[in-house]
Structure 1
Amino acid sequence: MDHTFLSSRGNTAMTTILLLFGILISTTVEFTGAQSVGVCYGANGDNLPSRQEVVDLYKSKGINRMRIYDQDEEALQALRGSNIEVILGVPNDKLQSLTDAGAANDWVNKYVKAYSDVKIKYIAVGNEVPPGDAAAGSVLPAMRNIQNAISSTNLQGQIKVSLAIKTSLVANPYPPENGVFSDEARSYITPIVDFLKSNGAPLLANVYTYFAHVDDPQHNSLNYALFTQQEKNDAGYQNLFDAILDGVYAALEKAGAPYMKVVVSESGWPSAGGDAANVQNAESYYKNLIQHVKGGTPKRPNGPIETYLFAMFDENRKPDPETERNFGLFRPDKSAKYQISFN
């Protein structure tokens, strides 16, 4: 804009406006960065606090985003008016029933519309459904029906319908630019990506450097997995998290969705139960991850990366391996396992 025609008073006013605007923008960016980390609330334990106690703990720790894995009405009741953004999950065993449009409408009315004072941001229709699984054929029809039900209630501007994938759907993940959805996954995931693109929705991906490290420690060293490696590797990467996420971005590009946002719907490190699973490594991972996702990746440098830490509590009823029961940030008595700031 050419300001040469303005008087000195106009210049002063314009300078003030621009200064205030700049402060507003910088504050917004800082706020967005601070808000980028949520925590997954798994409830598969017989010794966990009440839903209301859990929501109160989120609020007391400044955790403003939560992922829940099913239509837990007690949790939804506790979330009313909390201003916590929520990923609401459709469990895999409910997918087939939601291929019926009427059932999907009923689901949305009961668990979404009835909780208009809960800030549901995403609905995750299924979690890590493998391409060859019996439920795989139900994912996209269920997503479409949920989307139609959301649209009929005029909530499509507030709530995005997606699903959460395992990053193992990506083949050729190294170097990350070679990432592509595997032959097995392509016919399953490509129509889903098209659906997400047409609705302006992100893809949700569960990103675990821990499993990549223990499965192949020779190529994925502990430092590389924990964000503590000092030098870049031959592909230009300093940490495994970025490499995995950029592999997903590359696969999306090849699937015709080069600008699709990826929400990291789970990422964590166990404190016990397996190789490299200890409190020291877990604390290092969570602290470094929280700092890291304020920025971006080499492929998508403009952050923050919306990320959900897994998980709020150790869940003692989860099946083997033992690591699955040791991902909690907090103990069942609500005491913190690590000294972590979520802001």
Structure 2
Amino acid sequence: MSIIFLLVGILSIGLKLTAVESIGVCYGMIGNNLPSRQDVVNLYRSRGINQMRLYFPDEQALQALRGSNIELILDVARETLNSLRNANEATNWVNRYVKPYARDVKIKYITVGNEIKPYDSEAQSILPAMQNIQNAISAANLQGQIKVSIAIDMTLIGNSYPPNNGVFTDQAKPYIQPIINFLKNNGAPLLANVYPYFAYINNKQSISLDYALFRQQGNNQVGYRNLFDAQLDSVYAALEKVGASGVKIVVSESGWPSAGGDSASTDNAATYYRNLINHVRNGTPKRPGAIETYLFAMFDENQKTGAATEQHFGLFNPNRTPKYQISFN
């Protein structure tokens, strides 16, 4: 009997070692035809999607998430960032949107700033706001559950190819270096929005569609078989150059539009999402191992502004039927 228990224990350890990160999905709400928050949470659960990103602290969504066991990235709304330079305002934010839910909503990260550029008016508020939110989280004794971070985009990275040459741009470095130091000191990951789609359409003369869609056959001259790995490893290279090689990257957005622009089609989007889900189990050449990844986005958002593609990143239609046949885990 003891041998059986020993074998079971060894098997369970093996299963833990080979477990992969589950795939998350970003829940954007910029639409006038979307399901109720409770219906959305039910859809996450029915499809086995165990991680969500929420772009502002929507209290109806937080209520619907109670007891769902869905891990959550909770963003600070952009228009709130500057106010959180005030420590009392940051404490009030945590007291309103975090403490009442922390027992039965699995808030994993708080994102203080999404794709804020060094020249944006909010840029000078990011680090003080992060520090104030961190202090408020610690005062609430939630620092073991929740990490405070920021989500960047690829515009902060220069010399991104070959990936080992990745570096934060001269303009970005004074802005991002103290933030990276904060992440390192607090054991928090850096969140990065990684979009091969945009890199591809902006540089089609050098990048093939197959390379962007994980369909490249064979290695290229620097050993990368897909654009996603090359982009992500350029961020890791940039972190190494500022003394933060131990900081983990969470891919907080990645997706492909199904309509509205160049190479935006349901076939290409379905190919990208399926191949991404399969690929992130294994990691990149610089960082083998599962990559915590959030697909963008749950629904098409018909009120988003900007390029027409912005309205066509949804994995599901507003009536909750799937746009693609995808297994999330």
Pair in the same fold by TM > 0.5: yes
1:176 aligns with 2:163: yes
Counterpart-to-counterpart distance in 1, 2:74 and 2:224? 33
Cα deviations across residues 41-85 of structure 1 (Å, max 9, x unaligned)? 000000000000000000000000000000100000000000000
Partner of 2:286: 299
Report if the CA contact (8 A) 2:22-2:328 is conserved.
no
Partner of 2:303: 317
Shift of 1:18: 4.8
1:26 aligns with 2:10: no
1:206 aligns with 2:179: no
Partner of 1:60: 46
Partner of 1:161: 148
Partner of 2:202: 215
Q: Percentage identity across aligned positions?
A: 64
Matches for 1:227-238 after TM superposition, within 5 Å? 227-238=214-225
Partner of 2:69: 83
Report if the CA contact (8 A) 2:300-2:315 is conserved.
yes
The amino acid that maps onto 2:212 is A
Counterpart-to-counterpart distance in 2, 1:194 and 1:21? 39
1:246 aligns with 2:230: no
Over the residues paired in the alignment, what is the CA RMSD in angstroms? 1.1
The amino acid that maps onto 1:141 is P
Report if the CA contact (8 A) 1:36-1:293 is conserved.
no
Partner of 1:269: 256
Counterpart-to-counterpart distance in 2, 1:131 and 1:283? 34
Secondary structure of the equivalent of 2:172? helix
Q: 2:30 aligns with which of 20, 40, 44?
A: 44
Counterpart-to-counterpart distance in 2, 1:29 and 1:280? 34
Shift of 1:220: 1.6
The amino acid that maps onto 1:131 is P
Cα deviations across residues 284-326 of structure 1 (Å, max 9, x unaligned)? 000000000011100011x110000000000000002100000
Counterpart-to-counterpart distance in 2, 1:46 and 1:26? 47
Matches for 1:84-163 after TM superposition, within 5 Å? 84-116=70-102, 117-163=104-150
5+ long unaligned stretches in structure 2: none
Partner of 1:7: none
Counterpart-to-counterpart distance in 2, 1:232 and 1:36? 27
Partner of 1:9: none
Cα deviations across residues 136-189 of structure 1 (Å, max 9, x unaligned)? 000000000000000001100100000100022111001100101000000000
Larger Rg: 1
The amino acid that maps onto 2:71 is E
Partner of 2:56: 70
TM-score when normalising by structure 1: 0.94
Secondary structure of the equivalent of 2:112? strand
The amino acid that maps onto 1:84 is I
The amino acid that maps onto 2:25 is V
Secondary structure of the equivalent of 1:183? coil
Report if the CA contact (8 A) 2:22-2:49 is conserved.
no
Counterpart-to-counterpart distance in 1, 2:222 and 2:258? 30
Secondary structure of the equivalent of 1:249? helix
Report if the CA contact (8 A) 2:184-2:246 is conserved.
no
Counterpart-to-counterpart distance in 2, 1:278 and 1:152? 48
Counterpart-to-counterpart distance in 2, 1:139 and 1:18? 50
1:196 aligns with 2:183: yes
Counterpart-to-counterpart distance in 2, 1:131 and 1:269? 26
Secondary structure of the equivalent of 1:114? coil
The amino acid that maps onto 1:128 is E
Counterpart-to-counterpart distance in 2, 1:49 and 1:329? 14
